[in-house]
Amino acid sequence: MAEDVYVGIDVGGTKVLAGVVDNRGRILRTVHRATPGRRVDVSIVEDALTEALGELVGDGVVRGVGLAAAGFVDVTGERVMFAPHLPWVDSPVRARLEERWQVPVALENDATATAHAEATYGAASGVEDAVVVTLGTGIGGGIILGRQVHRGANGMAGEFGHIQVVPGGAACECGGHGCWEQYASGNALVRFAREGLGTRPSILEELCEGNPSALTGPMVTRAAEEGDLLAHEAFGQVGDWLGVGLANLVAALDPGILVVGGGVSAAGDRLLEPARTALLSSLVGAGHRTVPPLVVARFGAQAGLVGAADLARQRVARLALQPPRGGPG
């Protein structure tokens, strides 16, 4: 019997990660692609998704595909309304890809898909109320209320990255200034490290060959793993800002747990320890309440594709319950 394949595809600002996921949230295999970028035609991005899907599944029978997109997805799950790091603007992405791939497609915001994965299979499983924050190129988020992902009136709840934390601060790709993701994200990590170059000896100079513009997040992570002081300080700055923002979310939502996912979360306690300290010092009434634990997402940077694949599975199940077109009902 041919394998029934459910695929999750997480498309972010820098990379496309696609994976086959079973019904227990286990990732069976994955493929990677670079994201073509924001300033390209949407067809180029969708070509990259199609290539990744083809490489991943081969001759397998694809039952459904879930797309976790780094952008604002409308409440119907049909359109990407805006994506700071991708070219989609009010684009009917779900229908277009469903027609192209000839399989049911589920569309969701990448961080909301992450929240779904962590609530269903991961670190927030069994928790009544939770907040999930994803740190990658930018910041995304998901809100779990009553063990259900809360999407909001427009489907755009959880866009924490564009909460303004520094009025008139650093310019953001969304068009605003001082957004949280400019201070607690992969891009922020690189910027903080660049700003410190030349102020003290650092192996980052060697890694980027003396060209600050060539510095990348993985270089900063590698340097931190090798004990580089500047890299550690950059992680500390991101962790501090992460904790400050999380304190605001706890004050607003009072969750039972805080889950941090996305690529930057792979730094683990190098990031979370300063974040925990800043959370405690910034949270109103911290000494008179139970401060929620701050943990890494079970699925790390792969949580978005796990959630997307499960949403595709749910979509296929719903479609199976619908009467045939032209039939009774």
User: Residue 328: pLDDT band by 50, 70, 90 thresholds?
Assistant: low
Q: Given a cut of 70, is residue 302 above it in pLDDT? A: yes
Q: Given a cut of 90, is residue 293 above it in pLDDT? A: yes
Higher pLDDT, 286 or 60: 286
CA angle 86, 87, 91 (to 5 degrees): 110
In the chain, the N- to C-terminal Cα span, in Å, equals: 33
User: Residue 38: pLDDT band by 50, 70, 90 thresholds?
Assistant: low
User: Which pLDDT score is estimated for 329?
Assistant: 45
- Which range is most confident: 22-26, 173-177, 179-183? 179-183
Q: Helices then strands (H, E): number in the chain? A: 9, 13
Tell me the per-residue pLDDT of 240-283, one tens digit each, with 9 for 90 and over.
Answer: 999 999 999 999 999 999 999 988 888 899 999 999 999 999 99
User: Which pLDDT score is estimated for 73?
Assistant: 93
Percent of the chain past pLDDT 90, that is, above it, reads 74
Q: For the residues 173-183, what does the mean pLDDT come to?
A: 93
The CA–CA distances, whole Å, from 40 to 43, 103, 150, 301 equal 8, 26, 32, 25
Tell me the per-residue pLDDT of 215-243, one tens digit each, with 9 for 90 and over.
Answer: 999 999 999 999 999 999 999 999 999 99
Three-state SS at 162: helix
Q: Which two tokens stand for residue 322?
A: 């619908």
CA dist., res. 62 & res. 76, Å (int): 23
Three-state SS at 154: coil
Q: Given a cut of 60, is residue 3 above it in pLDDT? A: no
User: Residue 285: pLDDT band by 50, 70, 90 thresholds?
Assistant: very high
Three-state SS at 81: strand
Q: Given a cut of 70, is residue 324 above it in pLDDT? A: no
User: Which pLDDT score is estimated for 2?
Assistant: 46
Q: Assign 3-class secondary structure to 93-115.
A: HHHHHHHHHCCCEEEEEHHHHHH
Please give the model's pTM, rounded to 2 decimal places.
0.85
User: Residue 190: pLDDT band by 50, 70, 90 thresholds?
Assistant: very high
Tell me the per-residue pLDDT of 58-95, one tens digit each, with 9 for 90 and over.
Answer: 777 899 999 999 889 999 999 999 887 788 999 999 99
H/E run at residue 50: helix 42-57
Tell me the per-residue pLDDT of 100-150, one tens digit each, with 9 for 90 and over.
Answer: 999 999 999 988 999 999 999 999 999 999 999 999 888 989 999 999 999
Centroid of chain to Cα 8: 13
User: Which pLDDT score is estimated for 326?
Assistant: 60
What rounded mean pLDDT belongs to the chain? 91
Q: Which fold has domain 126-297?
A: Nucleotidyltransferase; domain 5 (3.30.420)
Please tell me the class of the 4-114+302-321 domain: alpha beta
Task: Please list the residue range(s) of the chain that carry CATH number 3.30.420.40.
Answer: 4-114+302-321, 126-297
